[in-house]
Amino acid sequence: MPKIWKLQDAKAKFSQVVDDALKNGPQYVTRHGSKAVVIVSSEEYEEITAKRMSFTEFLLSSPKLSNGLDLQRSKDSTRKIDL
């Protein structure tokens, strides 16, 4: 279970904070009553950061692409606009 630590307590018991992060999941550390940082295991951090795909990859993974979405630009000339 994630625990919330005050910064001064986290500094004094850093080994316990790390052990808890490894055993129980993310450990939140607050500064002046507001959440400041989260301590997670390196395994969990790698898992979180490895799953991100680029915006281009996200768009290309769209299910509509496999349904025959036409991405060709029109070769028509530009239209005239009165200014």
What is the DSSP track for 21-54?
HHHH--EEEEETTEEEEEE--HHHHHHHHHT---
pLDDT tier at 66 (50, 70, 90 boundaries)? low
pLDDT tier at 17 (50, 70, 90 boundaries)? very high
b/e map of 5-30 (b: 16 or more CB within 10 Å)? Answer: beeeebeeeeeebeebbeeeeebebe
Across 9-23, average pLDDT: 97
- Is 73 a member of any domain? no
- Is 36 a member of any domain? yes
Per this entry, what is the length of the chain? 83
Give me the domain span that covers residue 35. 3-62
Q: Which pTM value belongs to this model?
A: 0.60
In this predicted model, what pLDDT tens digit does every residue of 23-38 receive, in sequence order? Answer: 999 999 999 999 999 9
- Is 54 a member of any domain? yes
pLDDT confidence of residue 77: 82
- Is 58 a member of any domain? yes
